[in-house]
Amino acid sequence: MSEIDDIKRRAGIVTESVIHNRNHNDMSNPDVRVSGVGVYRLENLKDNVKNKIAELANFTANRNDDLSKWEQIGYMINHAAMQEMVKTIVAAEEELEGKDIERH
């Protein structure tokens, strides 16, 4: 690994492809690698994130505004790997559109 690649890696800049395997039957729905989570079909990953957001919306609708409930919501967002999943969706879509894969 070059010094520049090492600096980019430590800064959280992704320079490698998130596409794990191309789906030759549906080129817009490849298998994508979610860092620290696993491999998903892109459309399944999108559905997973949509479901997590819907669960959070339901959870927040049924809660008071006390601090502990908001801390619990924060925990759910940070530990449900949602951030990494969303980053992977954006990265995969950019790759499919042929955009530069270097991103934060």
User: What's the confidence (pLDDT) of residue 55?
Assistant: 84
Cα atoms in the Cβ-side hemisphere of radius 13 Å centred on 11: 12
- Where in the chain are the domains? 3-96
CA distances from 54 to 13, 35, 57, 60 (A): 29, 23, 5, 10
Residues 46, 36: Cα–Cα separation, whole Å: 17
Q: Taking the complete model, does pTM exceed 0.85, yes or no? A: no
User: What's the confidence (pLDDT) of residue 73?
Assistant: 80
User: What's the confidence (pLDDT) of residue 16?
Assistant: 76
Number of other residues whose CB lies within 10 A of the CB of residue 54 = 10
pLDDT means per 10 residues, the chain with 104 residues, are 60 73 89 92 95 84 75 79 90 85 49
